[in-house]
């Protein structure tokens, strides 16, 4: 199991082609982000005050982008917590494996897009925080 820390998680500034007709951003797996993209999902129509996440992944790498609006991502490696405010469609938060994440403070109409290094597998999740912290402190 990867021994990671929240210091391995970073906001990545993506290429941005400024254009009076509208700006353009692109992402290539293993070039702008340190994994190949196997899945894309997005959260939208999030009601005010809602919280998402509340889990960690064993092996999954992700990039989280505020495609529209804004929200906060709280990362936690079992020892340290850090809150990131995302509000730019050309900035993504890279989240490495074994990091607990919570997403809150969604603005109305916001869209949270996530690029993931693997397909959906429920076995890759820790959904119990105490179990996650125990595994982190014993590894």
For tokens 């397909």, name the residue: 119
Closest separation in Å from C-beta 117 to ligand TYD? 12
Catalytic member of 55, 57, 61, 85: 55
CB 18 within 8 A of CB 8: no
Separation CA 26–CA 118 (nearest Å): 20
Among left, alpha and beta (phi > 0; psi -120 to 50; other), residue 99 is: beta
Q: Does 58 bind ligand TYD (CB under 6 A)?
A: no
Pattern 37-56, binding to ligand TYD, x per CB under 6 A? --x-x-x--------xx-x-
Closest separation in Å from C-beta 121 to ligand TYD? 9
Q: Does 120 bind ligand TYD (CB under 6 A)?
A: yes
Q: Confirm whether 85 is a catalytic residue.
A: no
Separation CA 22–CA 123 (nearest Å): 41
Catalytic residues: 55
């Amino acid at each position: 199991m990867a021994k990671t820390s929240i210091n391995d998680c970073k906001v990545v500034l993506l290429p941005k082609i400024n254009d009076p007709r509208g700006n353009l951003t692109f992402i290539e797996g293993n070039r702008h982000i340190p994994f190949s993209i196997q899945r894309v999902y997005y959260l939208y129509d999030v009601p005010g005050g809602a919280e998402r996440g509340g889990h960690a992944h064993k092996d999954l790498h992700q990039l989280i982008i505020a495609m529209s609006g804004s929200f906060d991502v709280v990362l936690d490696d079992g020892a340290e917590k850090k809150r990131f405010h995302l509000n730019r469609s050309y900035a993504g938060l890279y989240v490495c494996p074994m990091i607990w994440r919570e997403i809150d403070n969604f603005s109305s109409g916001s869209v949270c897009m996530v690029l993931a290094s693997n397909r959906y597998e429920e076995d890759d999740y820790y959904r119990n925080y105490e179990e996650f912290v125990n595994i982190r402190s014993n590894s």
